[in-house]
Amino acid sequence: MGHEFDLIVVGAGSGGVAAARRAAAHGARVVIVEAGRVGGTCVIRGCVPKKLMMYAAAHGRGIAEARAYGWTVDLPRFDMGHWARAKAAETERLETLYGRMLAEAGVTLVRGHAELQSEAAVRVGAKVLQAPRILVATGGAPSRDAIPGLAEAMTSNDVLDLSALPSDLLVIGGGYIAVEFASILQGLGCPVTLAFRDALPLRGFDTGLRERLALALQQRGITLAGGVALASLTRDADGFRLLRSDGTVLRAGAALNATGRHPATDGLGLAAAGVRTDERGAIAVDADSRTSTPGIWAVGDVTQRMNLTPVAIAEGRAFADTEFGARPTRVDHRTIASAVFTDPSLATVGLTEEAARQRGPVDVYEADFRPMKTAFAGSEERTYMKLVVDGLDDRVLGVHMLGADAPEIVQSLAVAMVAGATKRDFDRTMAIHPTAAEEFVLMRSPVRRWPMHDRMPA
């Protein structure tokens, strides 16, 4: 095999595969290097298997709701081993599909650990690959250093490989990975305690969403242990013991470390190639994904810009179109929709109410109601929606929702928001009845109005 290429891609995850295929489509000779499984975090040990687990949990609640609608249902029982085998078969199918897509695109796949030798050379074992452009797309990995003893706990990777449910679970962390797995495991029948240091889970999200999610998780039976810093985790014959800064102790048979992820840059030889990173190891890049070293670019979670699979894909394609397609392209990171797959799920796009207030003036519209489907079954579950609107030009600045189908609904509304929709556009849109989504076009009066933010003179 020749070692002369137009592009070397390090990492065959979502961003790397997208960049490699797009560059090859533009006629570039591309090699992609992967030390693990082709498909990366999202396909193999992240988004896809996680959502399959979420679907499994949702079926349990659906069976319970069916009784209220007249169905006679035998006592349900979840078989984790069955799900694990089906999940493994699906991820293997997807990995094979990704490999086939690379081959059909004409991309050369090299297995092994990559180490940058210079701005134009990458060593993989005994081979040295050379190209005038290198793209680093190695993604991220679970962090294990938030508190002493955390390395003893499972990570999200391990949870997705479970063949049996724990007797009970202590989830450590308050971010989206923590709340998702807390919700999913509780839905599968495992008692869950969620421990985090902030007053509410999901720091950085809109406060209205955070407050209502906390209540929804508690209504599902999850014990929330927030507002206290975490000191250490120890393991003994009975399971895990989490010591908090106020002296209280939380115990469970199993523990999940969901305290976040860090860029997967260890051992890549970035320093030797002159690539600048921050204190957490994230690669510093400009708007075109260029690093500090000419000839080397980086996309996806390894840059810590916005750690979402579609963003990594868009960054990879933008790089390929710019460098090989004579079509300069940049990714706009300012308005990107995201979802958290709890039960109920939530989704958001644009500015939070708190961020919009810093710009001011802002009008805030809300809807908070019991959805028809679950209310009929006697549930107290609620759906919450919020529109954050510019008080000067009526443009919608933020869309937020907690409730069934929130990701599907907000994905559609994100198109309107990115296109510059105003509140008047929402008002003159005819509702589809009866749906939950219609509430977004039926909010007539603001519940809060914030004036222009007063800034101190410089």
Please tell me whether residues 15 and 133 are part of one structural domain: yes
DSSP letter for 447, please: S
Residue for token digits 């250490």?
232
Q: Are 364 and 370 in contact (CB under 8 A)?
A: no
User: How is 305-361 classified by DSSP, letter by letter?
Assistant: S---HHHHHHHHHHHHHHHHSS-------SS--EEE--SS-EEEEE--HHHHHTT--
Query: What pLDDT shows up at residue 452?
Result: 80
pLDDT averaged over every residue in the chain: 95
The fraction of the chain above a pLDDT of 70, given in percent, is: 98
Q: In this predicted model, what pLDDT tens digit does every residue of 233-273 receive, in sequence order?
A: 999 999 999 999 999 999 999 999 999 999 999 999 999 99
pLDDT above 70 (res 346): yes
Distance between CA 89 and CA 209 in Å, rounded? 36
Please tell me whether residues 11 and 102 are part of one structural domain: yes
* Residue stretches of the annotated binding site for NAD(+): 173-180, 260
Query: What pLDDT shows up at residue 114?
Result: 97
Among the listed residues 82, 262, 433, 453, the single catalytic one is 433
CATH of the domain at 374: 3.30.390.30
Q: How confident is the model at residue 3 (pLDDT cuts 50, 70, 90)?
A: low
Distance between CA 237 and CA 256 in Å, rounded? 17
The closest of 253, 198, 263, 188 to 224, measured between CA atoms, is 198
Please tell me whether residues 243 and 194 are part of one structural domain: yes
* Residue stretches of the annotated binding site for FAD: 51, 301
Q: In this predicted model, what pLDDT tens digit does every residue of 224-237 receive, in sequence order?
A: 999 999 999 999 99
Query: What pLDDT shows up at residue 10?
Result: 98
Last-in-domain residue among 230, 259, 288: 259
Structural domain boundaries, residue 428: 344-449
How many structural domains is the chain composed of?
3
Q: In this predicted model, what pLDDT tens digit does every residue of 349-393 receive, in sequence order?
A: 999 999 999 988 999 999 999 999 999 999 999 999 999 999 999
Q: In this predicted model, what pLDDT tens digit does every residue of 385-427 receive, in sequence order?
A: 999 999 999 999 999 999 999 999 999 999 999 999 999 999 9
Query: What pLDDT shows up at residue 221?
Result: 97
* Residue stretches of the annotated binding site: 51, 173-180, 260, 301
Q: Is 433 a catalytic residue?
A: yes
The closest of 343, 303, 201 to 258, measured between CA atoms, is 201
Residue for token digits 């609608």?
69
DSSP letter for 429, please: S
Please tell me whether residues 29 and 134 are part of one structural domain: yes
